[in-house]
């Protein structure tokens, strides 16, 4: 199995687009792709997608080293799990301050390695992660509290039950390149707080950001508890073969391979595999907020976001007002300044192909268009089209293209949204919020936002999840602990009797008791139930005396 860190994007004829951001204060107008950008000289890029400048060297981990790292992590995990949740939280709490203190370092590294504007890097990769650490360290003690199971005192006398949330053990974490700091931390922090060890493989496109994430925990954790491994698909496969659960964010094709291997090993996996997110604009939508929100939702990180708006279904009644405003706002954006450059030439090729095939099918380009050959500065592009049988509306583009389709009202829009094989997020834009809530319940997506889009992945308390080919993993919120822990049931028996009712020997008295219980619990009419109670009163003492 080859587990490439190919980001989260739908496959286009076997291609697996990638997910990452880069950011720089002053970006060149036309960054150009070089062979090294896609790791031709090894598993790691050696040049920035911004301007081709050299990036620091990265040492790859040999797949043969992974088992030893896993063993060391397991040893560290035993003592770590023995600590209380509050003790673990006190160890990890300083990570918040470290993130904030290193804000510029984080933003500038993400900018250079991914091509994302520094402002986006700070807002998406720094501030929400400080909040994430605070949320989990404050809440983990309560979230890991056990629950009590009540027993019928007649059938199960003297029994007390408790359900504990036990750590899985070793979490294998494989993350993409589009949000190379935020996405790993969404799993690392709650996984560690729940008592797990983590074997972390960042994308081979953004290994330096991955190393920075690991460095945030240096000197805080027991040695080996968080193990960083760097490399390509062979290293990812080694991680899957060592873990007790795999958390994977990436392409559908790779996610399927991960799921198959986890099934072979009989271990769980959590998969987030991208999206083809839609925005539904109803006839009463507020024009200015809707236009601004959709433009941001489509073009932030140059569309290299599993939650990017890649389809807009606009009610015909509002199209004449909304579409020109979308075009006007889009034309004001400058690639490299307002929007990220595309991180890899491979991804740029996919975006180019989707646009070209849409144009061949009759799509009208209202703004933007493909850049000159070799450039990664793909202009924010607005396309109007009628047909939905093109890759631009069926596959994940993962680039700065906003396709607009006119529809005949909400019912038409919902049908089209739900027809997609992806189901990550959808936004609904309208002044009638009550009606929007009704529509939300009919959408087959994991996240629905009303009059906003896509930002809730940065909210630690809100579950981030999808349906269909978007995968079935959950990050953020207490629901994520359902994957990072396993329920362990502990029964305490205070019954002092020599034997239980149902133990040997099997006798006619026991048979009489069993059927009398059935009648007493509702298997007979009123008088039958009363008679059964008297029968039990006579038979139970005989049974307890050995009858």
Q: How far apart are CA 96 and CA 130, in angstroms?
A: 5
CA distance 368 to 203: 30
* Whole-number pLDDT of residue 155: 87
CATH of domain 64-273+479-488: 3.40.605.10
C-alpha dist (Å) from residue 427 to 39, 311, 436, 461: 36, 10, 10, 19
The tens digit of pLDDT for each residue in 357-409 reads 999 999 999 999 999 999 999 999 999 999 999 999 999 999 999 999 999 99
- How do 159-167 and 485-493 pair as beta strands? antiparallel
The distance of Cα 257 from the centroid of its chain, to the nearest Å, equals: 17
190 contacts 481 by C-beta, under 8 angstroms = yes
| Active-site residue identified among 272, 310, 395, 483 | 272
Q: What is the pLDDT of residue 22?
A: 29
DSSP assignment letter at 143: H
**Is-catalytic flag, 262?**
no
Task: Give 310-333 pLDDT, tens digit per residue.
Answer: 999 999 999 999 999 999 999 999
Q: What average pLDDT does range 428-456 have in this prediction?
A: 97
Among candidates 66, 428, 494, which has minimal Cα distance to 278? 428
Percent of the chain with pLDDT over 70: 92
What pLDDT shows up at residue 336?
78
How confident is the model over 264-291, as a mean pLDDT? 97
Residue 544's pLDDT is 84
Q: Is the pLDDT of residue 487 over 80?
A: yes
| Helix/strand/coil for 357 | helix
Q: How confident is the model at residue 21 (pLDDT cuts 50, 70, 90)?
A: very low
- Residue 348 annotated among the catalytic residues of the structure: no
Q: Which carries the bigger pLDDT value, residue 4 or residue 432? A: 432
Which one, of 451, 430, 448, lies nearest residue 440 by Cα?
448
With 50 as the cut, is the pLDDT of residue 337 above it?
A: yes
> What confidence category does residue 29 fall into, taking pLDDT thresholds of 50, 70 and 90?
very low
- Give pLDDT, residue 374: 92
Question: Per-residue pLDDT for 27 more than 60?
Answer: no
pLDDT at 57: 96
Q: What is the pLDDT of residues 55-78, one digit of tens each?
A: 999 999 999 999 999 999 999 999
pLDDT, residue 335, reads 82
Rg (Cα) of the chain, in Å, rounded? Answer: 28
CB 376 within 8 A of CB 33: yes
Q: How many CB atoms lie within 10 A of CB 104?
A: 12
Note the CATH architecture for domain 277-460.
3-Layer(aba) Sandwich (3.40)
Report pLDDT for 438.
97
Enumerate residues 6+ apart whose C-beta is below 8 A from 238.
63, 66, 67, 229
Q: What pLDDT, in 10s, does the model give residues 170-222?
A: 999 999 999 999 999 999 999 999 999 999 999 999 999 999 999 999 999 99
Is residue 10 within 8 A of residue 422, CB to CB? The reply is yes
pLDDT at residue 31, rounded to an integer: 36
Residue 2 — very low, low, confident or very high, per pLDDT cuts 50/70/90? Answer: low
User: CA-CA distance, 107 to 181, in Å (whole number)?
Assistant: 10
What is the average per-residue pLDDT within 295-300? 98
The whole-angstrom separation of Cα 315 and Cα 540 is 71
Alpha-carbon span 531 to 539, nearest angstrom: 12
Which residue is catalytic, options 114, 262, 269, 306? 306
Task: Check: CB of residue 403 under 8 Å from CB of residue 394.
Answer: no
pLDDT at 457: 96
Residue 246: its H or E element = strand 245-249
pLDDT of residue 45: 96
Mean pLDDT of the chain: 92
Res. 24: pLDDT tops 70: no
The pLDDT of residue 295 is: 98
Residues 6+ apart with CB under 8 A from 27: 50, 51, 115, 117, 336, 337, 341, 377
pLDDT bracket for residue 10 (50, 70, 90): very low
Q: Where are the domains of the chain?
A: 64-273+479-488, 277-460, 499-544
Q: Is the pLDDT of residue 28 over 70?
A: no
Closest to 286 measured CA to CA, from 452, 456, 455, 413:
452
Sheet holding 159-167, edge to edge: 147-149, 159-167, 485-493
Measured torsion, CA atoms of residues 185, 191, 195, 197, in degrees rounded to the nearest 10 = -80
Whether residue 505 is preceded by a cis peptide bond, meaning omega within 30 degrees of 0, is yes
pLDDT of residue 23: 28
**Per-residue pLDDT at 6:** 52
* Contact of 73 with 67, CB cutoff 8 Å: no
Tell me how far apart the alpha carbons of residues 542 and 215 are, in angstroms, rounded to a whole number: 68
Question: Would you place residue 42 in the very low, low, confident or very high pLDDT band (cuts 50, 70, 90)?
Answer: low
pLDDT band with cut points at 50, 70 and 90 for residue 4: low
Q: What local confidence, expressed as pLDDT, does residue 389 receive?
A: 94
Task: Give the dihedral of Cα atoms 314, 315, 317, 318; nearest 10 deg.
Answer: -30
Specify the DSSP class assigned to residue 300. G
Half-sphere exposure of 399 (CA within 13 A, CB side): 34
The DSSP letter of residue 446 is S
Is residue 7's pLDDT more than 50? no
């Amino acid at each position: 199995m080859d587990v490439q860190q190919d980001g989260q994007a739908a496959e286009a004829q076997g291609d697996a687009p990638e997910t990452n951001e880069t950011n720089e204060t002053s970006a060149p107008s036309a960054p150009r792709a070089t062979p090294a950008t896609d790791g031709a000289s090894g598993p790691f890029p050696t040049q920035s997608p911004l301007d081709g400048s050299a990036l620091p060297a990265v040492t790859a981990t040999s797949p043969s080293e992974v088992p030893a790292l896993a063993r060391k992590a397991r040893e560290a995990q035993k003592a770590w799990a023995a600590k209380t949740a509050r003790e673990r939280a006190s160890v990890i709490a300083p990570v918040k301050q470290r993130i904030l203190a290193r804000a510029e370092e984080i933003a500038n590294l993400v900018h250079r390695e991914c091509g994302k504007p520094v402002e986006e890097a700070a807002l998406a990769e720094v501030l929400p992660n400080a909040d994430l650490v605070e949320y989990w360290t404050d809440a983990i003690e309560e979230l890991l509290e056990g629950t009590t199971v009540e027993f019928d005192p007649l059938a199960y006398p003297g029994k007390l039950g408790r359900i504990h949330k036990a750590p899985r053990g070793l979490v294998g974490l494989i993350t993409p390149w589009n949000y190379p700091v935020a996405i790993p931390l969404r799993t690392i922090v709650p996984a560690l707080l729940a008592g797990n060890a983590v074997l972390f493989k960042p994308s081979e496109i953004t290994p330096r950001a991955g190393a920075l994430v690991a460095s945030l925990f240096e000197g805080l954790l027991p040695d080996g508890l968080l193990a960083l491994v760097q490399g390509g698909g062979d290293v990812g496969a080694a991680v899957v073969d060592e873990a007790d659960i795999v958390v994977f964010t990436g392409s559908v094709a790779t996610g399927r391979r991960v799921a198959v291997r986890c099934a072979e090993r009989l271990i769980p996996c959590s998969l987030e595999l991208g999206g083809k997110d839609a925005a539904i604009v109803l006839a009463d939508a507020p024009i200015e907020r809707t236009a601004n929100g959709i433009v941001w939702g489509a073009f932030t990180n140059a569309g290299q976001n599993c939650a990017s708006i890649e389809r807009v279904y606009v009610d015909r009644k509002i199209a004449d007002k909304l579409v020109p405003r979308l075009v006007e706002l889009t034309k004001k954006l400058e690639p490299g300044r307002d929007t990220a450059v595309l991180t890899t030439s491979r991804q740029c090729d996919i975006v180019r192909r989707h646009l070209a095939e849409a144009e061949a099918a009759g799509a009208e380009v209202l703004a933007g268009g493909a850049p000159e050959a070799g450039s990664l500065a793909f202009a924010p592009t607005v396309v109007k089209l009628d047909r939905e049988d093109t890759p631009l509306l069926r596959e994940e583009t993962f680039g700065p293209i906003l396709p607009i389709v006119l529809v005949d009202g909400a019912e038409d829009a919902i049908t089209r949204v739900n027809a997609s094989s992806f189901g990550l997020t959808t936004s609904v834009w309208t002044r009638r919020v009550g009606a929007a809530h009704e529509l939300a319940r009919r959408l087959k997506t994991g996240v629905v936002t009303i009059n906003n889009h896509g930002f809730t992945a940065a909210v630690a308390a809100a579950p981030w999840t999808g349906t269909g080919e978007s995968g079935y993993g959950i990050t953020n919120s207490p629901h994520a602990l359902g994957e990072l822990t396993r329920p362990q049931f502990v029964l305490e028996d205070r019954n002092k009797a020599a034997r239980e009712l149902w133990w040997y020997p099997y006798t006619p008295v026991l048979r009489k008791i069993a059927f009398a219980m059935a009648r007493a619990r509702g298997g007979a009419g009123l008088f039958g139930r009363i008679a059964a109670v008297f029968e039990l009163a006579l038979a139970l003492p005989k049974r307890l005396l050995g009858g």
